Amino acid sequence: MEPDKKEFDWFDHPESRKLLWRVLIGACIVSVLLEVSLFFDDGHGRHGHFGDHSVDGWFGFYAVLGFVACALMIYGAKFLGKFLKKDEDYYGDPEETTLPEDIDESIR
């Protein structure tokens, strides 16, 4: 990289990260608020697919599901990781000393 050429590093700046955070939180809020628009059709909003009052018809169900499911999976993975994570040489695999042929010649 020539020193005079300015590198594109927008994502490294703290203010960019702050902006992205705001966009993300905004998108979450908007996606939930937009569900209100579904009440304009018939005044009832969404219907569940599993009977008249099934839980998936509740307001904001998918937002809650997304949040809870992902949080649970992360906690679940973290917990299982305590037992399952091992050092990389656990199986005693042979370490390659040279890069194989499928890698770019210029860095081999």
Partner 1 sequence: MNPFAEFPPALILLLGALLVPFLKGNWKSVYVIALPALTLLYILQLDSSEGWKFNVFSFTDEAVDFLRVDKLSKAFGIIFSLNAVIAFVFAFYVKNSTQHVAALVYIGSAIGTVFAGDLVSVYVFWEGMAISSTFVILSRKTEKAKAAGFRYIMVHLLGGLFLLAGIVITVANQGGSIAFNGFDFATEQHAGTWLILIGILVNAGAPPLSAWLPDSYPEASVTGGLILSAYTTKTAVYTLLRGYPGWEPLIWIGCAMSVYGIIYALLENDMRRILAYSIINQVGFMVCAAGIGSPEAISGATAHAFCHIIYKSLLWMSAGAVLYRIGKSKCTDLGGLYKTMPLTLIFGTIGALAISAVPGTSGFTSKTIIIHAAEYSDQAGIFWAWLILEAASAGVFLHAGIKFPYFVFFNKDQGHRPKEAPGSMLIAMFILSFLCIFFGIYPQPLYDLLPYAVDYNAYTWSHIITQMQLLMLSALVFFLFLPMLKRTATISLDFDWFYRKALPPLGRGLDKTLNGTNAAVSRGFTSGVIAPIVNFFESGASRFVAWILTPFWMSLGYSAEKIDAKQQSLFKRAKRGAFPIGITAFFAVILLGLLSLIFLLEK
Binding site for partner 1 (CB under 8 A): 1, 7-9, 11-12, 21, 24-25, 27-28, 31-32, 34-35, 37-38, 46, 49-50, 54, 56, 60-67, 69-71, 73-74, 76-78, 80-81, 83-88, 90-91, 93-94, 96, 99-104, 107-108
Cα-based distances in Å from 72 to 11, 85, 86, 97? 29, 19, 22, 40
User: What does the alpha-carbon distance between residue 27 and residue 65 come to, in Å, rounded to a whole number?
Assistant: 16
Least distance from partner 1 to the Cβ atom of residue 34, Å: 5
Least distance from partner 1 to the Cβ atom of residue 19, Å: 13
User: What does the alpha-carbon distance between residue 22 and residue 16 come to, in Å, rounded to a whole number?
Assistant: 10
